[in-house]
With several copies, the nearest count.
Chain A
Amino acid sequence: MVAALNAALRASLDRDSKVLLMGEDIATLGGVFRVTDGLAKDFGEQRVIDAPLAESTIIGAAVGLAMRGYRPVCEIQFDGFVFPAFDQIVTQVAKLRVRTDGQVAMPIVIRLPFGGGIGAVEHHSESPEAYFVHTPGLRVMAPATPADAFVMLQQAIASDDPVIFLEPKRRYWDRGEVDLNVDIAHATLMGRARVTRSGSDVTIACYGPMLRTCLEAAEVAAEEGRSLEVVDLRSLSPIDFPTLVASVERTSRLVVVHEAQGMASVGAEIAAVIAERCFWSMEAPVIRVAGFHTPYPPNRLEQHYLPDVERILDAVDRSMAY
């Protein structure tokens, strides 16, 4: 996936001279995950910028650059370091378009490696998506595969809206087919979910790092004679409810899976909406599989914190038991 993201950045830098990258350690080092590797060399320091160590002004400066006509793509090094920039994101990036009655665009992408499962120290494994989904004015996207990472990042950069682009860091090293010649304009539309695996018993909604885990669960379930339909949400704001509702109307059951803690989360939103829209067809309540209501634990305990195949199958069981 790292290579796919790198290729997407390269393509975007090539396509539009207004695209700039900014972040900590992204130029000379090429990013701690090497997502920007080689880009400073090829596009120069003016377009691939090593910033001082200050997230708030990485985003704040991006706002000014956007106002001057640029399209900044900012990297926040890890999920846990996005909070110093929270004010600029929520108060300025998300709101400036509406505050100026549409006269100022905020074509800013904030790339955020997120999620756990890589054995990192604290603050390096968080899933802050709900904070952004709750915030009007932001789009939130999370690719789950290299192919989607390649397409979706380019779409995010091309969008005139600000996008929080969540990169599932435990999938950074995943390999997969990427069609580098895909026509971005005709690829799966931004904001659309995708039914990644069809099934008839229970719908599983997930995104980012959990897609692979959910597909594994579906494999195991299939062996046990249960047919799971796996929906990759891809976009978290907006959420593609039409696709999800259509799936749930077929299966009558839904399990939502994410790593983030559950209270007032994306899973809560999905459960609330589906419970309403599919009220007459649900044969079981929406079951949520999420991180616990604790700060992310020390990494030797993360396997217990993170939803895994077993917990997903347990939720499927509970759903089927209704």
Chain B
Amino acid sequence: MHTHGGDDFVQLLTPEGERLDHPDYPLDVTGDEVRALYRDLVMMRRFDLEATALQRHGELGLFTPIVGQEAAQIGAGRAMRPGDFAYTSYREHGIAWCRGIEPLTLMGLFRGVTNGGWNPYEHNMAIYSIVIGDHVPHAVGYAMGIQRDGTDDVALAFFGDGATSQGDVHEAFVFAAAFHSPVLFFLQNNHFAISVPVETQSRHQLVKRADGYGIPGIRVDGNDVLASLAVTRAALQRIREGGGPMLIEAVTYRMGSHTTSDDPTRYRPHDALEHWATRDPLERVLRLMEREGWADGDFIAGLDAEANAMGATLRDGTRALTPPDPLTMFDHVYAEPHQQVTDDRAFLARYLQAAPSGDLT
């Protein structure tokens, strides 16, 4: 079935690195801007490689690769303003990057030393959400708060093709439409929910879901960072001006495994990777830069060095992430004291004192 493969989406940069014009989504970019975007893409790809390697070396319990989806995320992330607020699932490392969250910070969850890792208010980005769909209503609630505050910020909800089947995502659409709330739904259709192809979630283009709520929907080439940027910017602008919620479907492909525990050879059509490799999100930007003379050897070498440095920081930093004191698990269950927690904490404290290793299984 090819309903989802159709190229009826906004594209501003072809896989061959040619710029296209689009009447609704004009984008003027300078060489500097494109270089900055390319840097983001490269850093994300490297991050992915490094984190995957760290998992292979036993330093992480799990990792969720981003490879293939860098452009969708960087485009969207760079379109956001600081005051906007992002709710994401567990694969939006590119959004985190754009929100100023250090790659190393993301390792805490995957290494099992925290369930969060950063202060959401510092970056205006919620911690990763693992239960599929749950965070999408949160974005709508946050947007309802924005409405009451009277600012022109926007809440963004990032989720996958699989998530579109969840009741909570539908209800979030319903609330956003009913209250005309400033929320942007950003759907990355990477063609899979673990092993299940997007066709099992819908035989129909997912962007069409928006129609049913009277929410405008835009389908964009998720492997084109310029298109993702332009479309997200336009959507955010429209929402800021009171236009109400919107949905963007970024059509992309998960080139890696679902997580490092997954074995995609069991389900991925064997020629799919080849096909999608020709649409690589980094490659086309490089071609554009070459074509325009925006990238010289120094730039590329500089990037490489920066990526190397990031990799080193990541490796060393991850190894240095040690589990917190066991008693911290009781610290933030409640804001105010709760007797059961107090008792359980006292029990564990006594117990740890008696058997300091604490690890006797």
Instruction: State whether the Cβ of A246 lies closer than 8 Å to any Cβ in chain B.
Output: no
Surface stretch bound by B, among A56-64, A175-183, A200-208, A224-232: A56-64
B196 touches A98 (CB 8 A): no
Q: Cβ of A123 and Cβ of B131 under 8 Å apart?
A: yes
Contact (Cβ within 8 A) B359 A303: yes
B144's partner among A29, A64, A241 (CB-CB below 8 A) is: A64
Question: Are B329 and A121 in contact (CB-based, < 8 A)?
Answer: no
Minimum C-beta distance from B235 to chain A (A): 19
A65-B114 in contact given A54-B174, A105-B335 (Cβ < 8 Å):
no
B119 within 8 A of A: yes
Stretch of B223-231, B241-249, B340-348 with 4 or more beta carbons under 8 angstroms from chain A:
B340-348
The A-contacting residues of B in range 111-148, CB under 8 angstroms, are: 111-116, 119-121, 126-127, 130-134, 136-148
On whether the beta carbons of B112 and A238 are closer than 8 Å, the reply is: no
Interfacial residues of chain A within 23-63, with CB under 8 A of chain B in the complex:
24-25, 28-30, 32, 46, 50-54, 56-57, 59-63
- Is B214 in contact with chain A by the CB < 8 A criterion? no
A98–B332 contact, CB under 8 A? yes
Minimum C-beta distance from B361 to chain A (A): 4
B61 near A57 with CB under 8 A, answer no
Minimum distance in angstroms from A213 CB to a CB of chain B? 7
- Binary interface encoding of chain A residues 307-322 relative to chain B, with 1 for a CB under 8 A from any of its CBs, else 0: 0111100100000000
B330-341 interface mask toward A, CB cutoff 8 Å, 1 = contact, 0 = none?
Answer: 111111101111
User: Interface-forming stretch among A2-10, A67-75, A250-258, A278-286?
Assistant: A67-75
Contacting residues, chain B, for A91 (C-beta < 8 A): 131, 134
For the complex, what is the distance from the CA of A303 to the CA of B329, rounded to whole Å? 12
In Å, the complex CA distance between A53 and B87 comes to 19
Q: Is B178 an interface residue (CB 8 A)?
A: yes
Asked whether, in the complex, the Cβ of A68 is within 8 Å of the Cβ of B61, the reply is: no
Nearest-Cβ distance from residue B114 to partner chain A, whole angstroms:
5
Question: Taking the complex as formed, is B62 at the interface, i.e. its CB lies under 8 A from any CB of chain A?
Answer: yes
Is B360 interfacial (CB 8 A cutoff)? yes
Q: Does A92 contact B (CB under 8 A)?
A: yes
Known: A68-B149, A304-B358. A294 touches B144 (CB 8 A): no
Closest CB in chain A relative to B19 CB, distance in Å = 37
Interface band, chain B:
35 or more
Query: Would you call B172 and A24 a contact (CB within 8 A)?
Result: no
Q: Are A238 and B340 in contact (CB under 8 A)?
A: yes
Interface residue A297 (Cβ < 8 Å from any Cβ of B):
yes
Question: Which residues in B have their C-beta under 8 angstroms from that of A102?
Answer: 331-332
- B299–chain A nearest beta-carbon distance, Å: 37
Chain B nearest CB, measured from A90 CB (Å): 10
- Chain B residues within 8 Å of A161, by CB: 334-336, 338
A300 contact from B111, B143, B168, B331, Cβ within 8 A? B111
- A32 partner residues in chain B, CB cutoff 8 A: 194, 261-262
Given contacts A30-B266, A303-B358, contact A92 B138 (CB under 8 A): yes
Among residues of A, the one whose C-beta sits closest to the C-beta of B340 is A293
Q: Please give, as numbers and ranges, the residues of chain A lying within 8 Å of B121 by CB-CB distance.
A: 103-104
Does B168 lie within 8 Å of A84, measured CB to CB? yes
Contacting residues, chain A, for B262 (C-beta < 8 A): 32
Nearest-neighbor residue (CB-CB) of B108 within chain A: A298
Interchain nearest-CB distance for B141 vs A (Å): 2
Q: Is B51 an interface residue (CB 8 A)?
A: no
Contact of A298 with B134 in the complex, beta carbons under 8 Å: no
Shortest distance in angstroms between B260's beta carbon and chain A's nearest beta carbon? 12
B291 CB to closest chain A CB (Å) equals 41
Contact between A56 and B333, CB atoms less than 8 A apart: no
Q: Are A61 and B144 in contact (CB under 8 A)?
A: yes
A53 near B163 with CB under 8 A, answer: yes
**Across the interface, which residues of A come within 8 angstroms of B114, CB to CB?**
101, 298
A57-B196 contact, Cβ under 8 Å, with A52-B201, A239-B339, A304-B352: no
- A53 and B162 contacting across the interface, CB-CB below 8 Å: yes
Q: How far is the CB of B58 from chain A (nearest CB, A)?
A: 10
Q: Which of B148, B174, B355, B358 has the most CB of A within 10 A?
A: B148
The answer to whether residues A57 and B324 also contact, given A28-B267, A97-B333, A103-B121 and a CB cut-off of 8 A, is no
* B165 touches A (CB below 8 Å): yes
Among B183-203, those with CB < 8 Å from A are: 193-196, 200-201
In the complex, what residue of chain B is closest to A68 when comparing beta carbons? B145
- Whether A61 lies near B175 (C-beta < 8 A) is yes
Interface centre among A60, A104, A190, A299 (most CB of B within 10 A): A60
Of residues 294 through 347 on chain B, the ones whose CB sits less than 8 Å from some CB of chain A are 323-324, 326, 328-336, 338-341, 344-345, 347
Residues in A73-89 with C-beta less than 8 Å from chain B: 80-81, 83-84, 87-88
Q: Which residue of B lies closest to A59 (CB)?
A: B137
- List 27 interface pairs A-B (beta carbons < 8 Å), by A numbering: A24-B193, A25-B193, A29-B195, A29-B267, A30-B266, A60-B134, A60-B138, A60-B141, A60-B172, A63-B137, A64-B139, A68-B141, A80-B130, A80-B131, A92-B138, A97-B334, A100-B332, A103-B119, A119-B112, A136-B333, A161-B336, A213-B361, A292-B345, A292-B347, A297-B329, A306-B361, A311-B351
The 4 closest A-B pairs by CB, nearest first: A64-B141, A60-B137, A68-B145, A61-B141
